[in-house]
A and B are shown apart, each in its own frame.
Chain A
């Protein structure tokens, strides 16, 4: 029994040694080991003590029996006492050991329960082993205890018997002591210390006692059957009780064993299952990893596709936005460029038109300048000297008015004489007229029909004798009287004095005959001058008009 326990202890040690790796498991295992060792020790002790007690009890019983059956011998009684002492001591030891063992077992049970309550799977074999050990210990202990109990019951019977005997003896002793109070009522020292009286009293008492006992014995024999029945009943009851108890304990033990077996099987199965589950789980884990890998791959694909899609869409968006922006920029730029170009064009056109206008203005100015030059050339006539030939100025005018037909026509309307020879100024014409006037007066009477020298003489006479106004204002309309040469000459003088060359020329044009012939030169000159002046004034007016038209107000 102890060996098995020791084997189990080693097994536990191994378990706990193997299970000492994990923390809580190690603590649990340590506690289990502790409690197991302590309980095993206690149990061993208890069992040892119980066995010792058993042995002591059996010895004691044997001794008691021997003592009861045999003669009273002090040595035997001493042995008996010693045995009793041994027994009591052993029983006490056993009891204490038992209680200790029970305590230890209870603690072990509590530890086991606690460790069971922890629900750590690695502890389970330890727990199982501990439980088994506990059970075994309990079983052994119970066995030993039952043995002890049986021995004790046997001893109890024997002791009861002995007690009865002792009681009887004590009764006897008391009686004896009541009879003989001075002697100590201890039948051990009874044999050597009694006197003859005492002995007689004792014998008498013994006889009485024997009678009484005989009577009791007869009574007992009468009631034997009843007593036996009762005893049997009692024994049956006790047997039943004991049986029940034994049965219950056996049942309990068997239940415990079965439970332990179950637990062991369960643990084995669990282990197997665990191993299987582990393999299955490993397989499942492998499958799961494969599946996960596949799923991940697929997911990766999907995510990649999604991401690519998103990326492409974003890129597209960005691109479109970029293109849009760039297009916008381009459009803006083009717009700006267009506006700038349009403005440029406008400016160019403005400048060109300005240039054109300037050109026009320049041309007009040039025309005007040339016309002014022409005008100025008219003034270059001194007294009796005609102007410079107007050809240059006229050419300049013609040059400066290519595009104006009017001006061209005008410039070509200039009389040739004025171009090549120049014209006389009004002053010179006036002066010449004055001299011409006298001549015209002198030849006033001469015409186609009257042109002899006599007529000449007569006209000279007339001129000498006729006095007319030097200057007379011409009327608005000439009547026939006004066509007199002298009158005409005075009108013409008046007109010339008042600067009206045209009217003077017109009046002079009315002269007839020799006077007309005489003033023909002057008339042509006057006409030339008038024509030139007219053309020049027209040109000047035109140039002024053109200049006015083209000059821009500042």
Chain B
């Protein structure tokens, strides 16, 4: 179980990094391609990436406490 925490952190960080870099890349690409080398798509992209990564990370860390309910219809 303790390993899971570490693995989670690894995944999270890796995922965040990837996402950030990917966002950065996409941002850079968008910035290059579409937005004439402005920096805002890069930061947007990287921010997007980071945020996604952060959210994934959080979700991953919360996953044990999430309760998935189901609607049971009375039939």
Taking beta carbons and an 8 Å cutoff, which residues of A are in contact with B? Answer: 432, 435-436, 439, 443, 446-448, 451-453, 456, 514, 517-522
Q: Which of B2, B57, B64 contacts A439 (CB 8 A)?
A: B2
Among B2, B5, B54, B65, residue most surrounded by chain A Cβ atoms (within 10 Å): B2
Smallest distance from the beta carbon of B12 to chain A beta carbons, Å? 9
Q: A residues within 8 A CB of B54? A: 453
A-B contact pairs, 8 of them (CB 8 A): A446-B61, A447-B65, A448-B65, A451-B61, A517-B64, A518-B5, A520-B1, A521-B1
Q: B residues within 8 A CB of A448? A: 65
Per DSSP, are chain A's interface residues mostly helix, strand or loop, or mixed? helix
In the assembled complex, B68 has its CB within 8 A of some CB on chain A = no
Contact with A along B43-70 (1 / 0, CB 8 A): 0000000000010011001101100000
Measured CA separation A435–B57 after assembly (Å): 23
Measured CA separation A514–B61 after assembly (Å): 9
Measured CA separation A123–B65 after assembly (Å): 178
Given contacts A448-B65, A517-B64, is CB(A453)–CB(B1) below 8 Å?
Answer: no
Q: Which residue of B lies closest to A436 (CB)?
A: B2
Given contacts A517-B1, A521-B1, A522-B1, is CB(A453)–CB(B57) below 8 Å?
Answer: yes
Smallest distance from the beta carbon of B64 to chain A beta carbons, Å? 6
Measured CA separation A420–B67 after assembly (Å): 33
Question: Could you tell me if A522 and B2 are in contact, using CB atoms closer than 8 angstroms?
Answer: yes
Q: B residues within 8 A CB of A517? A: 1, 64
The number of residues on chain B lying at the interface, defined by a beta carbon within 8 Å of a beta carbon of chain A, is: 10
Q: A residues within 8 A CB of B61? A: 446, 451, 453, 456
Question: Could you tell me if A453 and B58 are in contact, using CB atoms closer than 8 angstroms?
Answer: yes
Question: Could you tell me if B65 and A451 are in contact, using CB atoms closer than 8 angstroms?
Answer: yes
A-B contacts counted at CB < 8 A amount to 32
Question: Could you tell me if B58 and A452 are in contact, using CB atoms closer than 8 angstroms?
Answer: yes
Q: A residues within 8 A CB of B5? A: 439, 443, 518
Question: Could you tell me if B62 and A452 are in contact, using CB atoms closer than 8 angstroms?
Answer: yes
Smallest distance from the beta carbon of A386 to chain B beta carbons, Å? 16
Q: A residues within 8 A CB of B58? A: 452-453
Q: Which residue of B lies closest to A442 (CB)?
A: B5
Q: Which residue of B lies closest to A443 (CB)?
A: B5
Q: Which of B2, B62, B65 contacts A435 (CB 8 A)?
A: B2
Smallest distance from the beta carbon of A463 to chain B beta carbons, Å? 13
Q: B residues within 8 A CB of A443? A: 5
Q: Which residue of A lies closest to B63 (CB)?
A: A451
Q: A residues within 8 A CB of B57? A: 453
Measured CA separation A448–B54 after assembly (Å): 19
Which residues of B in the span 1-43 have a Cβ within 8 Å of any Cβ on A? 1-2, 5
Q: Which residue of A lies closest to B9 (CB)?
A: A456
Q: B residues within 8 A CB of A522? A: 1-2
Pairs A-B, 7 closest by C-beta atoms: A521-B1, A448-B65, A451-B62, A453-B58, A439-B2, A436-B2, A520-B1
Measured CA separation A518–B62 after assembly (Å): 13
Smallest distance from the beta carbon of B45 to chain A beta carbons, Å? 21
Smallest distance from the beta carbon of A7 to chain B beta carbons, Å? 186
Measured CA separation A483–B72 after assembly (Å): 38
Q: B residues within 8 A CB of A446? A: 61
Q: Which residue of A lies closest to B54 (CB)?
A: A453
Q: B residues within 8 A CB of A453? A: 54, 57-58, 61
Question: Could you tell me if A518 and B65 are in contact, using CB atoms closer than 8 angstroms?
Answer: no
Measured CA separation A443–B6 after assembly (Å): 12
Measured CA separation A448–B57 after assembly (Å): 16
Measured CA separation A452–B54 after assembly (Å): 10
Q: A residues within 8 A CB of B1? A: 517-522
Q: B residues within 8 A CB of A451? A: 61-62, 65
Measured CA separation A220–B71 after assembly (Å): 240
A435-B2, A439-B2, A453-B61 known; 12 new pairs, CB 8 Å cut-off, are A446-B61, A452-B58, A453-B57, A453-B58, A518-B2, A518-B5, A519-B2, A520-B1, A521-B1, A521-B2, A522-B1, A522-B2
Q: Which residue of A lies closest to B3 (CB)?
A: A521
Measured CA separation A518–B54 after assembly (Å): 21
Q: B residues within 8 A CB of A514? A: 64
Smallest distance from the beta carbon of B66 to chain A beta carbons, Å? 9
Q: A residues within 8 A CB of B62? A: 451-452
Q: Which residue of B lies closest to A513 (CB)?
A: B65
Q: B residues within 8 A CB of A520? A: 1
Measured CA separation A516–B46 after assembly (Å): 35
Measured CA separation A435–B64 after assembly (Å): 22
Smallest distance from the beta carbon of B28 to chain A beta carbons, Å? 26
Q: A residues within 8 A CB of B64? A: 514, 517
Smallest distance from the beta carbon of B5 to chain A beta carbons, Å? 6
Q: Which residue of A lies closest to B64 (CB)?
A: A517
Q: B residues within 8 A CB of A456? A: 61
Smallest distance from the beta carbon of A478 to chain B beta carbons, Å? 24
Q: B residues within 8 A CB of A521? A: 1-2
Q: Which residue of B lies closest to A437 (CB)?
A: B2
Measured CA separation A38–B54 after assembly (Å): 206
Q: Which residue of A lies closest to B55 (CB)?
A: A453
Smallest distance from the beta carbon of B26 to chain A beta carbons, Å? 23
